[in-house]
Amino acid sequence: MSPRRLLVFLASLFLILTTFASANNVNLEFPTFTLRNLTLLGDSYLRGDGVVGLTRQLGVPSSSSGTAIYNKPVTFFDPESNTTASFSTRFSFSITNVNPSSFGDGLAFFLSPDNQTLGSPGGYLGLVNRSQFTKNKFLAIEFDTRLDSLFGDPNDNHVGLDIESLKSIDTADPILQDIDLKSGISITAWIDYKNDKQELNVSLSYSKTKPENPILSVNFDLSDHLKEVMYLGFSASTEGSTELHLIENWRFSTFGFVPARPRSRPHNVSENTVTVMPEIPVSNSSNKHHNKIGFGLGIAGPAFFCVVLAVFGYVTVRKWRGIRTQMSFKAELLAGPREFNYKELNSATKGFHSSRILGHGAFGTVYKAFFTSSATGGTIAAVKRSKHSHEGKTEFLAELSIIAGLRHKNLVQLQGWCVAKSELLLVYDFMPNGSLDKVLYQESGQGTSLHWSHRLNIAVGLASVLTYLHQECEQQVIHRDIKTGNVLLDGGFNPRLGDFGLAKLMDHDKSPVSTLTAGTMGYLAPEYLQYGKATEKTDVFSYGVVILEVACGRRPIEREPDSMKMVNLVDWVWGLHTQGKVIEAADARLNGEFKEEEMRKLLLVGLSCANPDSAARPTMRRVLQILNNEAEPLFVPKIKPTFSFSYGLPLSLEDIVSDGEECESPNSMREIIID
């Protein structure tokens, strides 16, 4: 074969291989869910049993919105063959409620060209934004549990087809087939769309057997709304409700696509055709030349291979150090958090410009990031950035390994990470209302003050997540730095606990290990100061201080306005409790707009958690039960217990305080009395 013919042959082969692409039908099946294939937005979370919760699980009414999206886009239209796919999906869900009279709003299965779909709570079902009503594009089947006249709902128990609007194309009442969406019983739904018939059917059953007749049948051509690729997912929302929405399993498939044909013979290739390359004739006159080429290739082939191997080895050795740094913790991460490109993060933060700084912490600086790429779709995130150092790297790996393995609606969601240019970076969901301390202590007249319902919700949410960390994880997690600055607030003022740089993983059956005392003054338990041992009870103490801050609107340690005297919040509240006037500790900015019984309970829970005697403090599970009215409050003594100990600290208080407060170094041995 002549060199020219060889070149033509290779070019033809390349052309045929690149054009012989086919639009693939998709088959997905999730008996249970993992983080490997899902993106969870808003308040959605993954339970330990592999069930996805879309809205917050609280004993008190709240507003919530959550979305779960399959990570990869699915092809619904093949421009090569001008074919729109048919599709079929089956999933099981349940809608439960601890308070049956507090219902609404429902859930939806949706298709969207956007993988960052997260709408507003309430009747918006997490599909559209209240302020940008027409921004989100979607096709959805809603399972609505509230009658909302704004969207023309027929009743509070209906199924509807929604296309880029929450005013349904058509609806049906499942009760006609004895299906109550709010029953709390697991319901299986089937959604089938046949493009050739332009027909969509929705079926429901309490069993796994598909009923003969659908609940909802709509004749509608979806081809104009099914884009080339779209994302699949579920969303749900509540507003002033305790309704909980769970997705238990899911199966989805597309069908109707056929393989694309080679362009040279587009109408003569069936699905079973095997393409055979035509034999290229070789004349006898060129045999000698052919042999020469073969001989040359025989020599050049191995030589080329050696060159490629040498280049690969050079690049590998050059990058080995950076790879080795990442390999030390990559294996410990779940598949959920993605590895970001440094260039992408640098661009999203305007080169880590000072105008994008949200705050500073023990780990480093936090920046606001705007992502405009097609992969992230105009989203906002928070990026923690730290230079390489022994301490920074240790905290970075701690935060990665811990947060990547945890899932709770009141934890800050980790989106991803990056190690590059001697920097360590973590990417989190952006919390629009910032940290609790900034909202709690903002200047009068600035921003939105925390109403009593928000404060009670924060107390319950923090108790829930600490119960999870202390008692429900495979390994117990001690946070060690619980404070209002590490509690972030989402758009609905729901709490999200973050900053796990100081956290420690422990087996439940092992005693706590001694660690270097770290944390923030005002939140540190007395026994932690003495022994430097972090236990779940030291977290309980810090939680108690945070709860007193939330109820009283005062910092843990404050200077009296008319004197130089420093006042400890726990001491101040306990003093009022001693006088029988604990309710006077309530934040004056609430203007008395709270239930006195709830305020008293919260203050006494705070005091019981901040008891100097660690043995007298409740567990976080008990605290959660008390706040949810499932257990009686603990007895709080009128006189604050006295705790005394002798200790030797080789450290200055600067070594103890994580945020760099300037304090005078104590003597090496000192008697401390805490009362």
Shortest CA distance to 609 belongs to which of 599, 597, 621, 598?
621
Distance from C-alpha of 601 to C-alpha of 582, rounded to nearest angstrom? 10
Q: Residue 397 corresponds to which tokens in the numbers above?
A: 């790996």
Q: Is 194 annotated as a binding residue?
A: no
Instruction: Round to whole Å and give the CA distance between 75 and 78.
Output: 7
Contact predicate 204/179, CB 8 Å: yes
User: What is the distance between the alpha carbons of residues 482 and 69, in angstroms, rounded to a whole number?
Assistant: 31
> Whole-angstrom Cα distance, residue 173 to residue 505?
49
Please report, as a single letter, which amino acid is at residue 332.
Answer: E
Longest dimension (CA), the chain: 114
Distances, alpha carbon 401 to alpha carbons 18, 40, 117, 332, 503, in Å: 41, 19, 28, 6, 10
Q: Long-range CB contacts (< 8 A, 24+ apart) of 321-324?
A: 322/419, 322/420
Contact between residue 411 and residue 465 where contact means Cβ atoms under 8 Å apart: yes
Cβ–Cβ under 8 Å, residues 248 and 51? yes
Name the residue among 68, 33, 30 with its Cα closest to residue 409. Answer: 68
Contacts of 13 (CB under 8 A, 6+ apart): 277
One-character DSSP codes across 507-522: -TTSPPPB----B-TT
- Share of the chain residues as helix, strand and coil, in percent rounded to the nearest 5: 30, 25, 45
Name 634's Cβ contacts closer than 8 Å, sequence gap at least 6.
Answer: 604, 605, 608, 618, 622, 626
Instruction: Annotate 175-197 with b (16+ C-beta within 10 A) or e (fewer).
Output: eeeebebbeeeebbbbbbbebee
Are residues 394 and 387 in contact, defined by beta-carbon separation less than 8 angstroms?
Answer: no
Instruction: Identify residue 211 by its one-letter amino acid code.
Output: P
> 153, 481, 490, 539: which is the annotated catalytic residue?
481
Backbone angle region of 645, left / alpha / beta, with phi > 0 → left and psi within -120 to 50 → alpha: beta
For 32: left if phi > 0, alpha if psi spans -120 to 50, otherwise beta; the answer is beta
Cis peptide before 587 (omega within 30 of 0): no
**Cα four-point dihedral sign 515, 569, 653, 360:** positive
In whole angstroms, what is the distance from residue 544 CA to residue 526 CA? 13
SS3 108: strand
Q: Phi first, then psi: what are they for 531, rounded to 5°? A: -105, -15
Strand 414-420's sheet: what is its strand order? 338-339, 414-420, 423-429, 380-387, 365-370, 357-360
Whether 481 is catalytic: yes
What is the C-alpha separation between 153 and 105, in angstroms, rounded?
12
Residues in the annotated binding site for ATP: 384
Active site members: 481
